[in-house]
């Protein structure tokens, strides 16, 4: 999911608010505004994009944002943190007081994106699959936003407010003259494993720490229903370390690596190739990698 725009109708303008986004909050805001009676337009550059995301969320998010439990791929109650020296700390996912929802929910990010986008449309938001180009302020405090469709057609939306939720590399922020934020470029693969290796990850999530993986972020191995998501993130200048962690996960069945010893590559990637943003991989490996950006704060 690359971007979205939302708009709210008001007196004397086409829309009151216009939003462009890369993140979940774009669809959430669009749905909330539409449910409150606003006339909303949700602009999404590519509704088929699979954002590189581990897809781990707390159970509370399901009820808080009205997410159907049918999209849950797996519930994990064990987590392991692997340090730079290889020392592993394993723990149960639970608080000081036991609860029924002491687990981590694993899901596919593109399914979550689609679910929230559909929810916004059900609330009354209109969807446009188009890219944000620019915006400018008009007289009377209005905002004019220019979007472009895949066939080259362009459209202008006049609104009261433009809300940008298009991620770390926000085009809306750039259009507004904001300085770029520090970000990490993420890379992720989805890997089908042999049955015995998949059984190892049936109830286990892993986080890998260390400068050899990323000085800026961490590596993850998160299980889904039929594959594991393996990813990491780093500043662009440290991209080779992310590639090294990714390459280690792509070894043949039965082979091991110090960083992820139970990852034995299955016969094929678990999903179709995805458009990349951020660090560019080697052409021969582009089909299996997903890229994106995340705020570093």
Question: Domains in the chain, start-ordered, CATH in brackets?
Answer: 17-51+110-175 (3.50.50.60), 59-106+183-295 (3.30.9)
pLDDT band at 92, cuts 50/70/90? Answer: very high
Does 37 or 269 have the greater pLDDT score?
A: 37
**pLDDT, averaged across the chain:** 77
The per-residue pLDDT for range 167-176, each reduced to its tens digit, is: 777 888 888 8
Residue 234 above 90 pLDDT? Answer: no
pLDDT band at 19, cuts 50/70/90? Answer: low
Report how far residue 21's alpha carbon sits from residue 4's, in angstroms, rounded to the nearest whole number.
Answer: 4
Residue 272 above 90 pLDDT? Answer: no
In the chain, the percentage of residues whose pLDDT exceeds 70 is 73
Dihedral pair phi/psi, residue 76, rounded to 5°? -115, 130
The per-residue pLDDT for range 205-220, each reduced to its tens digit, is: 999 998 888 888 889 9
pLDDT band at 296, cuts 50/70/90? Answer: very low
**Looking at residues 37-56, what average pLDDT do you find?**
89
Does 225 or 245 have the greater pLDDT score?
A: 225
Strand order from edge to edge, sheet including 290-295: 88-92, 78-82, 205-208, 219-223, 228-234, 183-191, 290-295
Report how far residue 212's alpha carbon sits from residue 122's, in angstroms, rounded to the nearest whole number.
Answer: 46
Give the distance from CA 193 to its chain's centroid.
Answer: 23
Q: How many CB atoms lie within 10 A of CB 292?
A: 30
**Looking at residues 224-230, what average pLDDT do you find?**
92
The per-residue pLDDT for range 99-143, each reduced to its tens digit, is: 888 999 999 999 999 999 999 999 999 999 999 898 888 777 888
In the chain, the percentage of residues whose pLDDT exceeds 90 is 36
The per-residue pLDDT for 290 is 53
The per-residue pLDDT for 208 is 92
**Three-state DSSP state, 86:** coil
**Looking at residues 163-170, what average pLDDT do you find?**
81
Residue 273 above 80 pLDDT? Answer: no
Does 251 or 137 have the greater pLDDT score?
A: 137
| Beta strand spans in the chain (E) | 17-21, 41-44, 56-57, 74-76, 78-82, 88-92, 104-106, 126-129, 131-137, 143-148, 154-159, 161-165, 183-191, 205-208, 219-223, 228-234, 290-295
Q: Is 175 in contact with 145 (CB distance < 8 Å)?
A: no
Helices and strands of the chain, counted as H and E runs: 6, 17
pTM beyond 0.85: no
The per-residue pLDDT for 101 is 86
The per-residue pLDDT for 17 is 56
Residue 10 above 70 pLDDT? Answer: no
């Amino acid at each position: 999911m690359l971007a979205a725009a939302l708009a709210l109708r008001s007196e004397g303008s086409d829309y009151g608010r216009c939003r462009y986004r890369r993140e979940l909050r774009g669809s959430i805001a669009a749905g909330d505004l539409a449910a409150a009676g606003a006339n909303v337009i949700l602009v999404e550059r590519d509704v088929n994009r699979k954002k590189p995301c581990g897809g781990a969320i707390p159970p509370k998010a399901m009820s808080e944002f009205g997410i159907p439990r049918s999209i849950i791929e797996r519930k994990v109650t064990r987590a392991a943190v692997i340090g730079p020296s290889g020392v592993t700390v394993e723990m149960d996912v639970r608080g000081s007081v036991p609860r029924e929802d002491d687990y981590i929910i694993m899901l596919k990010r593109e399914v979550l994106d689609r679910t929230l986008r559909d929810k916004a449309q059900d609330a009354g938001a209109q969807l446009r699959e188009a890219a944000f180009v620019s915006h400018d302020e008009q007289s009377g405090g209005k905002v004019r936003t220019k979007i472009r469709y895949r066939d080259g057609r362009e459209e202008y939306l006049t609104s009261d407010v433009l809300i940008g939720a298009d991620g770390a590399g926000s085009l809306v922020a750039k259009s507004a003259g904001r300085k770029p934020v520090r970000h990490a470029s993420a890379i992720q693969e989805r890997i089908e494993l042999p049955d015995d290796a998949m059984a190892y990850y049936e109830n286990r999530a892993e986080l890998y720490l260390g400068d050899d993986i990323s000085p800026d972020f961490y590596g993850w191995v998160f299980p889904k229903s039929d594959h594991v998501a393996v990813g990491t993130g780093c500043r662009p200048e440290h991209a080779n370390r992310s590639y090294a962690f990714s390459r280690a996960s792509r070894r043949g069945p039965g082979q091991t690596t110090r960083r992820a010893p139970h990852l034995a590559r299955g016969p094929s990637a678990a999903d179709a190739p995805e458009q990349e943003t951020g660090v560019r991989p080697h052409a021969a490996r582009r089909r299996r990698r997903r890229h994106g950006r995340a705020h570093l704060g």
